């Protein structure tokens, strides 16, 4: 009988027995001595266990580090800082005052939130799954597509309401997630709007519109000019009547 140990798995071994047929005849020579000798035991075959190893992919010099570390920005990474001269720093300070000078919102008709145009930067608060609308002046026309700082996570859709001279342009604003903040520029044929967009989980402003102090002043100036012209005509007519009466009383 032959016993051989073969590797069955990574850590286990089994014995396979090989049996040789033996003859029932008496293979004994004429001396009475048996010619069959016991088999010499064969030592078991020693095979080291097989271990499965994954081939290690060799990373290229260009993308190896990015593949191992991923595409996330390291926590301690800081963008490069540009050196500003005195003029550039002063310009940034002036712009910062305009950006941080938020105007006071007031309630308007039909649920509008009103900002005075040109007095601070208006803030539009929106929420995901909600629709917010920026309402411009009636009769105003968009010159080009509005520009937004974060066009990937904010959706801006133009729309119109009304007809004729009262047709009013609208911008429908929708964020895709809360916690966002960016800016918006709207160029029209009358002025350029600059505002901030903020997304909140639940709070939002449905309609945002503007009051135009310059137009109000122009209306008052026109009204005052009309009153002055009427008063001048009245005085002129009164003076002419007095002159005619005086002429009639002459001898």
Q: Convert the pLDDT of each residue in 94-147 to its tens digit.
A: 877 766 666 789 999 999 999 999 888 899 999 999 999 999 999 999 999 999
What value does the CA radius of gyration of the chain take, rounded to a whole number of Å?
47
- How would residue 221 be classed by pLDDT, with cut points 50, 70 and 90? confident
Contacting residues for 13 by C-beta, under 8 A, at least 6 apart: 5, 6, 7
What is the DSSP code string of the chain? -EEEEEE-SSS-EEEEEEPPP--SS----TTS-----PPPPPPPP--PPP---PPPPPPPTTTHHHHHH-SPPPTT--PPPPP--HHHHHHHHHHHHHHH-PPPPEE-GGGEEEEETTSS--EEEE-TT--EEEE--TT--B-S--EES-TTTEEEEEEEES-GGG-EEEEEEEESSSS-EEEEEEEBSS-EEEEEEEE-SS---SEEEEE-HHHHHHHHHHHHHHHHHHHHHHHHHHHHHHHHHHHHT--
Q: Which two tokens stand for residue 93?
A: 């300070």
pLDDT digits (tens, 9 = 90+) for 159-212: 999 988 889 999 999 999 999 999 999 999 999 999 999 999 999 999 999 999
| Spatial separation of the C-alpha atoms in residues 244 and 181, rounded to whole Å | 74
Please determine, for residue 60, whether its predicted confidence score (pLDDT) is greater than 70.
no
Look at residues 132, 137, 139, 111 and name the one whose alpha carbon lies nearest to residue 184: 132
Is residue 122 a contact partner of residue 195, using CB atoms and an 8 Å limit? yes
The tokens describing 77, both together, are 């990474």
pLDDT at 20: 47
pLDDT at 64 over 60: no
- Here the tokens at position 54 are 């994954």
Partners of residue 112 on adjacent β-strands: 207
Both tokens of 200, joined, read 């909140």
Q: Examine the pLDDT at 236 and tell me if it is beyond 60.
A: yes
Buried-state track 10-19, b at ≥16 Cβ within 10 A, e below 16:
eeeeeeeeee
């Amino acid at each position: 009988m032959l016993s051989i140990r073969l590797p069955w798995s990574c850590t286990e071994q089994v014995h396979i027995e090989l049996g040789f047929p033996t003859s029932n005849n008496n293979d004994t020579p004429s001396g009475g001595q048996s010619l069959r000798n016991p088999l010499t035991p064969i030592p078991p075959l020693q095979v080291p266990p097989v271990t499965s190893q994954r081939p290690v992919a060799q990373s290229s010099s260009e993308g190896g580090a990015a593949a191992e570390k991923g595409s996330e920005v390291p926590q301690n990474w800081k963008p490069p800082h540009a050196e500003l001269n005195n003029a550039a720093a002063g310009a940034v300070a002036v712009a910062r005052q305009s950006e941080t000078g938020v105007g006071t919102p007031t309630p308007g008709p039909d649920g509008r939130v009103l900002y005075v145009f040109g007095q601070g930067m208006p803030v539009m608060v929106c929420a995901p799954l909600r629709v917010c609308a920026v309402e411009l002046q009636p009769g105003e026309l968009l010159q080009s597509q509005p520009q937004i700082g974060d066009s990937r996570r904010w959706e801006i859709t133009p729309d119109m309401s009304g007809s004729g001279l009262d047709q009013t342009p609208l911008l429908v604003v929708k964020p895709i997630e809360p916690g966002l903040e960016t800016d918006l520029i709207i160029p029209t044929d009358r002025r350029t709007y600059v505002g901030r967009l903020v997304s909140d989980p639940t709070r939002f402003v449905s309609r945002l519109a503007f009051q135009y102090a310059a137009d109000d002043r122009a209306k008052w100036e026109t009204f005052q000019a009309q009153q002055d012209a009427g008063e001048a005509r009245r005085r002129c007519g009164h003076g002419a009547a007095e002159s005619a009466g005086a002429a009639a009383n002459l001898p």
